Amino acid sequence: MAAPTSADFARVSALLQEGKTQEADDLLKELTSDAAKAERAAAGIPETPSPPRAPEAIVLDFFHSITAHLGFPPKLHALLDELKAVAS
């Protein structure tokens, strides 16, 4: 799908009139995703997935977000520093 058509806009409009904002938002995201894929294909850019992350990096990011949410308490901050040293 290269560009959204008037039928696509009519579907979004109908969903919004029914009060189904989440469904309309999902449809808009799908349409923009399809349009972006078509543009990349037209430009000759291959679709390559991002490389998988190491499990240690995922755990470290998760722990960092929890520690940040808790305000970086000293004990958790020290543990986060130890994990960073081990992970690298």
pLDDT tens digit string along 14-73? 999 998 888 888 998 998 888 888 888 888 877 777 788 888 888 888 888 888 888 888
What beta strand segments (E) does 1-88 contain? none
87 has a pLDDT exceeding 80: no
pLDDT at residue 2, rounded to an integer: 58
Res 56: pLDDT: 84
Q: What tokens appear for 29 in the block?
A: 């995201």
- Whole-angstrom Cα distance, residue 63 to residue 87? 13
Residues 6+ apart with CB under 8 A from 28: 12
Distances (CA, A) of 80 to 13, 54, 57, 71, 74: 49, 17, 12, 13, 10
